[in-house]
Structure 1
Amino acid sequence: MPAERNPSPKPIAEWQDAFDFVEQVRLRPGMFVRNGSVQELSTMLFGYSVALLVHGVDEEFVFDPAGGPFAQWLSHEYGWSMATGWARAIEHYLPDELPLEAFFRLLDEFRASVASQPEPSLEAH
């Protein structure tokens, strides 16, 4: 099950990871992305990943456009090509859905899937 979402906006100083950023976008998409553009969201998340690398922040980044855990899950779960990234895949494979709404629906599915997987054992075999 996905982490419980806070229904009200949080100040940037309280954001802890990319998921906090994405949840703020969910609450106020018009403030962050023009016209509900999932491409623009993907570009912003790419910038987030660059900032992590530049500043040496140790945070697992799941939104890498073509090879991160979210893209890998979409490819495995739905058989989608990630050659042009998850944002383009959402637009291509779900043409009848609003792309940003589709992203959040898929993100919720991804988070539920990850949450239902057992934790890897730390014991040596």
Structure 2
Amino acid sequence: MPALGASGRAPKHASELHDVHELLDEMRLRPGTWVRGGSLPHLESVLMGYRIALTRTGSTKTGPSGAPGNPGPFTDWLWERLGQHSSLGWAAEIERAAEAADQSALEPFFSLFDEYRAEQSRTAR
């Protein structure tokens, strides 16, 4: 029986993931497996690779258009939400703010991403 994650559910196999939102949910469940050192620049690299793989394979799975990436709707939303823009990118800015608050960078990232998804869900109705 697979070990349960913090959410109380067993992790999914990569072949069971249907879109980038599910990928991020898996990352949240077991961040140490997916994101070396809890580094958002590493997370950004994983997401970039995911986007490139979808493009190269012609996959019909939902790509990261509604997820973190440069450029994209999440990035646009984030800069508006934070009231700033940075050439360093979203990962570096969230990580910088987390360090200043003495917390893991993944916590504020997932909090912001949850807020983004909830807002997108409300506007889609």
* Higher RCO (C-alpha under 8 Å, 6+ residues apart): 1
Give the corresponding residue for 1:45: 47
CA contact (8 A) 2:51 2:63 kept: no
How far is 1:63 from its partner? 3.4
What is the root-mean-square deviation of aligned Cα atoms in Å? 2.0
Give the corresponding residue for 1:122: none
CA contact (8 A) 1:65 1:87 kept: no
Secondary structure in 2 matching 1:80:
coil
Structure 1 length-normalised TM: 0.80
Structure 2 length-normalised TM: 0.80
Matching of residue 113 in structure 1 with residue 119 in structure 2: yes
The runs of at least 4 consecutive aligned structure 1 residues that moved more than 4 Å come to none
More helix by share: 2
Give the corresponding residue for 2:10: 8
Give the number of aligned pairs: 115
Matching of residue 79 in structure 1 with residue 83 in structure 2: yes
Q: Return 50-59 or 98-107, whichever deviates more.
A: 50-59
Deviation string 1:49-79 (CA, Å, 9 cap, x unpaired) is: 1011111224342335332111111111121
Give the corresponding residue for 1:70: 74
CA contact (8 A) 1:73 1:110 kept: yes
How far is 1:84 from its partner? 2.3
Quick one: percent identity of the two aligned structures?
35
How far is 1:17 from its partner? 0.8
How far is 1:118 from its partner? 4.3
How far is 1:83 from its partner? 2.2
Q: 5 Å matches for 1:26-45?
A: 26-45=28-47
Q: Identify unmatched segments of 5+ residues in structure 1.
A: 120-125
